[in-house]
Structure 1
């Protein structure tokens, strides 16, 4: 595998992130030169390197160091606020911060409310048909009341891509065109429109858009690509076109104060099956350093808040693990090659057919062990199982406990940067 050649094809993609420590600043747009892609990255404290020498790209780079910050005594600084909250949370509450529970977009059912309140889910995402913007605001206020713990409020997310994938579309929400249409607009127009859509989400109490799609679907595969191409979810058929759309969308949402999650790393554009409904979905083409990864790096450079990992198995990257359970994908590629030290989130591992053969608790523990942070779980009834598994694993494995703590710190840092953490 000639990774250096593939990496050269990814121009303008270098990004940096800060190492995870008690003074970790929020991850944001890249500020390093854009002519190269970093081939290694610093590893969060409490984790072990995810790659072996054989897995690591051949180009050598020095590990990045945390930026030096001036000493401060202000108890409400971002870093000290996050540390304060981290220490205040019990182990079980920390584990709860790592689960994003699916609830009805029209409002929690009594069973869902019980789960969110008892497990203190760190986030929820809205599924099913929604009502108006006003009724959605009422529903999200109830979520905040149920899930807030120690002054830490929940992430509230929706799939608001456009076209066939738009969760919130009642009165007060624009009908958003599909990404294939958005991709034909100028970058400035798309950013302006995304900002408008983001303001609607913000007004409804939604603080995360689980978008944009960074997957590149080759034109020759569009009709065969069930998860993206058949649903018109791609911004373009080349890495350059998709990257432009992704960057413009992220910038617009960010301007509206809404967090984003670029998805589905390392790409669903070359698969046939949809992991929501099919099992055994594989990508036998994508390689580490692939040019098709460009839109993900562009999203990071634009200031995305999270990177979402797919549940597909990439046989030329890690044939033994689905991407969400792969240290090579998460630690090696996302945190290493792309230099991303912010929040990494799963695609749904609650109801998706692809992961039904994996015990629910293991879906959470294996993801965190691989270097991930937030687990999307569409089945609220499985949240307690996942939280229990995280707590049990942390209690018996010190290395895992350190990884869990690092994950919670990243989540709290994201929340703090989005005004979801109250410190005295």
Structure 2
């Protein structure tokens, strides 16, 4: 990071960036052991947290003393913020602020806590400019309350209003001509994402411009743009061949370039996410020419070329349908299909997903599939064994998990929409995908009520919210101020 200029406001940004650089999503940071025997009755207040730059972070107390947390060794003075060293610390009153004086003469004020919360913004607080150092103070307060081994990003997300969190984990299909009607749901925070349905014309770009400006937090706009018969935008930005033809007629490099061109046109319309590619192995019921091949290695190679092409234009690709629909017994739009047993799936169908995860795919859609030996008659989309167990723990995926649409026959035969949403979130999904907005109010209220009653763990909702915000390029520790 370049050294910040002299004005104090720029230095405050530097502090925020320094703090964010240590909010490591991959997991909690181990705390250094501290001997507390003989501690004075009144311990100096913790007033700030800054990055060490070596994988840990430093807690600054009101005396200006630094305690190291994490794996980094105790740093020799001077402490650095960005590329500027702290040359002195002013202020020793535990109730007051502490000012760090940087080597260029500028000052940064750290405060012990964030502003009081009220109503009106994602955190439930009044809309006002937080004081300098408030981000450090928020993180410090979390560390004090929850311990220094807490995972900071989900902890910050948990400070956001429950209603806001509930909205972020809900996405719904909206016919393109009805997109203006979704503005209210987005602006109120009840809906965090929309899927553009139907066959839009060029005016969809104007609708999406309005939608993107509707909320305090950006809405996530997705579309099914696989190519072939599953291609919503063909009348606006042209056609892509189906997946089978993509693999037959192009090298992976050629496909990557083709998709990148197509994705730039998608981004120009206001799209953020593509529910593609399909990386199922084989063209069973409901899949057909949507699959690249019967060869899992080839499927992975072409699937990631597609994802890379999307990424080149800033579009998030969502590979689907985990753990593999290609050899399932039926179309999940109609009823719950059964896949081959888990042992066979691990050897064949899961191989493209394993390779995609190793390549850093950002998002995975979980299908409505019963996997013998894994899901015990439940759809994988509602199964903790499939999501938390197989996908997260066994395969090591830490990205965004989205359900397939919960209005499909595989789900609706046994679960109401609110029941399915709560089951999916409880199983580890980060976004529950609704077929439309008809039941949005009921579903949103059900999620809030489930958290308040303990049916849905607050930490699970916070974890899902944090992943959604990460895809949107937002940090919950900033929103929580």
Same fold? TM cut 0.5: yes
Q: Residue 384 of structure 1: which of 441, 463, 477 is its match?
A: 441
Q: What displacement does 1:316 show? A: 2.8
C-alpha contact 2:160 2:479 (8 A) present in aligned 1: no
Q: Does 1:69 align with 2:74?
A: no
Indicate the structure (1 or 2) with the bigger Cα radius of gyration. Answer: 2
Q: In structure 2, how many angstroms separate the alpha carbons of the residues matched to 1:84 and 1:368?
A: 17
- The one of 150, 153, 162 equivalent to 1:91 is 162
Residue 325 of structure 1 corresponds to 382
What SS does the corresponding residue of 2:199 show, helix, strand or coil? coil
Change in Cα spacing, 1:422 to 1:118, as seen in structure 2 (3 Å) is: closer
Structure 1's unaligned 5+ residue stretches are 1-20, 28-41, 44-66
Displacement over 4 Å in runs of 4+: 72-77, 79-85, 421-424
SS in 2 for 1:340: coil
How far apart, in 1, do the equivalents of 2:258 and 2:159 lie?
Answer: 40
Equivalent residue for 1:249? 306
Q: 1:107 to 1:305 in 2, by over 3 A?
A: farther
C-alpha RMSD of the superposition: 3.1
Q: CA deviation at 1:200?
A: 0.9
- C-alpha change, 1:335 and 1:322, in structure 2 (3 Å) is same
CA distance in 1, matches of 2:448, 2:157: 15
Which residue of 193, 205, 213 maps to 2:270? 205
Checking the alignment, whether the CA contact within 8 Å between 1:208 and 1:260 is kept in structure 2 is: yes
Alignment of 1:66-215 (within 5 A): 69-71=55-57, 86=157, 89-108=160-179, 110=181, 112-132=182-202, 135-146=203-214, 148-149=215-216, 152-171=217-236, 173-184=237-248, 185-215=250-280
C-alpha distance in structure 2 between counterparts of 1:167 and 1:68, whole Å: 46
Secondary structure in 2 matching 1:329:
helix
Q: What do residues 355-403 of structure 1 show as CA deviations (whole Å, max 9, x unaligned)? A: 1130211111111111111011112112222211111111011761111
CA distance in 2, matches of 1:193, 1:318: 38
Which residue among 244, 256, 280 is the counterpart of 2:336? 280
Q: Which has the higher contact order (CA 8 A, sep 6+)?
A: 1
Q: Secondary structure at the match of 2:265?
A: helix
How far apart, in 2, do the equivalents of 1:253 and 1:195 lie?
A: 5
Query: Aligned residues, how many?
Result: 347
Judge conservation of contact 1:106–1:131 (CA < 8 Å) in 2: no
2: distance between equivalents of 1:324 and 1:115?
25
Change (3 A) 1:85 1:176: farther
Q: TM-score, normalised by structure 1?
A: 0.74
Deviation at 1:248, TM superposition (A): 0.6
Say whether 1:23 aligns with 2:35: no
**Corresponding residue for residue 374 of structure 1:** 431
Contact 1:98 1:373 in 2 (8 A): yes
Work out the CA distance in 2 between the residues paired with 1:142 and 1:88: 29
Question: How is 1:343-422 mapped onto 2 (pairs within 5 angstroms)?
Answer: 343-349=400-406, 351-356=407-412, 357-397=414-454, 400-416=457-473
Q: Where does residue 122 of structure 2 map in the other structure?
A: none
Residue 213 of structure 2 aligns to a residue whose secondary structure is helix
Change in 2 beyond 3 A, CA 1:354/1:257: same
Q: Distance in 2 between matches of 1:83 and 1:270?
A: 37
